[in-house]
Amino acid sequence: MDYWKKEGFFEPKFDTNGEVSKEGYFVIPIPPPNVTGALHCGHALATALQDCLIRWNRMRGLTTLYVPGCDHAGISTQSVVENILWRREKKTRHDLGRPALVERIWAWKDDYHNRIRNVLDRLGGSFDWSREAFTMDKERGIAVTETFVRLHEEGLIYRSNRLVNWCTQLRTSLSNLEVENKELTGRTLLDVPGYEKKVEFGVLTFFKYPIEGSSETIEVATTRPETMLGDTGIAVHPNDKRYQHLIGKKAKHPFVDRLLPIFGDDYVDPEFGTGAVKITPAHDQNDFTLGKRHNLDFINILNDDGTLNAKAGPMFEGKKRFDVRYEVKAELEKLGLYVKQEDNAMSVPLCLKSKDIIEPIMKPQWWMSMKDMAEDAIKVVKSGEIIIRPESAERNYYRWLESIQDWCLSRQLWWGHQCPAYLVNIEGEHIDETSNDAWVTGRTLEEAEKKAAEKFPGKKFTLTQDPDVLDTWFSSGLWPFATLGWPNQTHDLDKLFPTSVLETGWDILFFWVARMIMLSLKLTGKIPFKEVYCHSLIRDSEGRKMSKSLGNVIDPIDIMEGISLKDLNDKLLAGNLDPKELKTATKYQHTSFPQGIPECGADATRFALIQYTTGGGDISFDVKVIHAYRRFANKIYQATKYSLGKFPDNYTPQANRKLTGKESLAERWILHKLNSAARNINDALENREFSKSTQVVYSYIYDDLCNVYIENSKAIIEQGTEEEKRSAIDTLYTATEGALTMIHPFMPFLSEELWQRLPRRPQDSTPSITIAQYPRHDPQFDNLDAETQYGIVQGASEGIRSLITEYKIQGSPVVQASDDASFSIIKSELQAIKSLAGKGVTSVSILGPNDPTPTGSAVYVVGKTAAVFLEVKGQVDVDDEIKKAQTKLKKASDGASKLKMQLADEEFRAHVSAGVLETEETRLAEFDAQISNYERRIENLLGCQ
């Protein structure tokens, strides 16, 4: 990695005029990992996919740039540091103060930022670190300020006092996207942060309000009894005869000195509950709307920490909201106003970060108008300017944007971009800070002062900057163009924007991707990227999303370098895990990694993660799969070592890859397979069929090169003429060089090390495989005849191996051709058949199509071209072998039937990629071949009885 960076291979290459390559450019901005903590497998997956595309395009001659960077992750990072502060020192952020806490967070950021860089390097990410960005560095800060001020000047960002999603644990507002709705079917006890006992949800509580000046009451129902302390009205349907006589009257609140007007509104459903609805305008979104419409009082009864304030009455002031839930019911019972309680299906809003119950609270905040921007973002995807893959992600994108609401930008945090907005305090005048007119924005304090002077001419004033910071996703939304220098018109922005691909998880399609598209269109007039590829989420072996809070996150370093179970447990104990989750997390580690995690290496880790990516469902993590690809890496090493050992001293390869006309059938075949693999892998990567691309390169290297051509070449190189030897070695070089360059985007470290050992072709001074030419399809190497003919050789040798292995008889196999052309090929390639059949096979007989078929033998059918026979009569229990063959025939038939039904299902075909369909069709062909084989085998074995 140090060599690559030192030589500048990862920097984008421009010509002397500053233009990109004639092949074009390819740019990926990294989805910036949060500096909250260490990277996990999801980051490793993203890095593997992104770097695979970058390295592939670099080798194809494009000007490439992989932009690195990190996100400050406002809520998450501050929350982690605050939790550590409390656990270790029993102090809150207020004990420290804003400057001291921010200083601690910067220290945390620097520590984890360095760790993140090290892991990304260890994974082989070919980043241009000279262009690294951080969402809170100076340049990105300028971009954030410019965006806020510009959009405020246009009226798109505005100040408003309205309901927000409030987390009492984090003590900040949240956007709708940061809230998870938990569906309940009825009464449910839930854990709530800050409460020792579980809290009751999923019930409807019925109680009565007395009517002023009357003995009559009106019954209402609520799922949140504590909010009745903020009630300011009661709504009924105007046509509901039960309550028409009460419209215009007032109900008396039993706990505070407040009268509640009773009014009619079509919004009310007479069939739900009692048909009378208590209205809490300051704590419910629907009630907020009704409160505005009927001019009700908006009374906030909650403090920021979730305790009740003075407006809730002296009986409840200072108490925790869910303690008050029970106390209110008890007090209503004492007054004879409590009626009953019923199970009620409902949705409970949870903070994604803290799992606290979200409270709607009235707060003056900064908002961004989204509707027009969303319409523009929809247009560029529908027109095809931006492609979103897979299609399911595109459908979700439209669904969210079509129902978008204005974005609450303010966060009551200390870590983040402080809003560049200033309250104008006019001397001698009352200022309503909830009003948009009381604020000015500025790129600098001087600009804000100038605006205030123009807005309030002749008046004395001071400015107070809003202490709130901006939602992290606001700065992240500028990432693709801010990392290239915006708002300045830099060379990078001019030549490398729009970027090429945004590769990310589907779970942040709305948080991040849609917002980048909207902000880019608004601020630059261009799309931010041409394509969005949403990879699957990695889940643990129990199907759970990997999460730091669950303790099931796996550090990529532990996979690459290996780790014992004890050390895994120790990392849990040293972490920031909630003590309640520690036991579950420890149990998961003992179940999933009883022997720890074996060393897998970076290359195997990358290859396995790319192989997992089908564009379909989520990924179930299994370290055994990753470790298996370490053996594949070893296979590549052994194959290259073999090739190097066969090259003569001072060997110089051919100047160019071209046919000489002297190649054997095996050579023509391997060159054809290399050529086909080059075409297929380029097509797969172009179409983002990542799993298929790994299958192509694996099949070529493992099956074609290692298991077939290398085995076949041994006999030619050892026993052939000098001309045959030289041709076989030249082909071996081409096949090996092609394998290493083809695997490089997937396994960069191993491929570079082995490629450097290969001799260079004349006039080839390429210093590194990172900029070597990627294999391309060349029509001169297409040779379907060679594939067909050599297929007979492979089939015959496979048949011999299969029969000897199955029957454990080391006899003399016989190959009978079905026609004269096949007989000629088998005869001329007999030595190859022996080589591929295995070391134990010394004698193979050949029969022509007209020769008598051997009797007393087991058979292996090689398609329509040949059959392999092995005499078994008198050496095996024929009846037992017939039963075995019948069992295998049934299994193959059942498998084929099931697969045929699946492939005939239009819904299945519509929801899987072309690569998956191709794989399933190949499996069906294999089943059909097995069926043919077992039918013929049973027929022959019956003749042995």
Q: How many helices (DSSP H) and strands (DSSP E) are in the chain?
A: 31, 33
Q: Are 197 and 264 in contact (CB under 8 A)?
A: no
Other C-beta atoms closer than 10 Å to the C-beta of 634 total: 13
Q: What's the pLDDT score for residue 540?
A: 74
**Four-point Cα dihedral 207, 210, 215, 220, nearest 10:** -40
Strands 529-535 and 499-505: parallel
Whether 716 shows a pLDDT value over 80: the answer reads: yes
CA 774 to chain centroid, in Å, comes to 27
pLDDT at residue 575, rounded to an integer: 67
CATH superfamily of 619-782: Isoleucyl-tRNA Synthetase; Domain 1 (1.10.730.10)
Res. 52: pLDDT tops 90: yes
Query: Is residue 573 classed as helix, strand or coil in its secondary structure?
Result: helix
pLDDT digits 0-9 by tens, 358-392: 999 999 999 999 999 999 999 999 999 999 988 88
Domain ranges of the chain: 186-344, 540-596, 619-782, 795-943
| pLDDT tops 80 at residue 88 | yes
Write the DSSP symbol of residue 45: H
Report the percentage of the chain scoring pLDDT > 90: 70
pTM of the entire structure?
0.86
Angle at 561 between CA 557 and CA 564, to 5 degrees: 100
The pLDDT of residue 699 is above 80 = yes
Q: At the topology level of CATH, where does 186-344 sit?
A: Isoleucyl-tRNA Synthetase; domain 2 (3.90.740)
- The pLDDT value given to residue 916: 73
- pLDDT-derived band of residue 915, with 50, 70 and 90 as boundaries? low
Torsion of CA 563, 507, 114, 519, to 10 degrees: 170
Residues 116-122 have a mean pLDDT of 94
Confidence (pLDDT) at 880: 75
Confidence of residue 682 (pLDDT cuts 50, 70, 90): very high
Write the pLDDT tens digit of every residue in 528-540: 999 999 988 888 7
Average pLDDT, the chain: 91
Task: Give, as one character, the DSSP assignment of residue 320.
Answer: B
What is the helix (H) or strand (E) element at residue 94, kind and residue range? helix 93-96
| Res 505: pLDDT | 82
Count of alpha carbons within 13 angstroms of residue 727, beta-carbon side: 19
Integer Cα distance of 38 and 112 in angstroms: 7
Evaluate if residue 576 carries a pLDDT over 70. Answer: no
Give the angle subtended at the CA of 253 by the CAs of 249 and 258, to the nearest 5°: 80
Q: CB of 785 within 8 A of CB of 777?
A: no
- Whether 158 has a pLDDT exceeding 70, the answer reads yes
Alpha helices in 123-234 (DSSP H): 138-153
Radius of gyration of the chain (CA): 36
Long-range contacts of 189-197 (CB under 8 A, 24+ apart): 190/348, 190/357, 191/355, 191/580, 192/322, 192/356, 192/357, 193/169, 193/354, 193/355, 193/356, 194/168, 194/169, 194/306, 194/320, 194/356, 195/320, 195/322
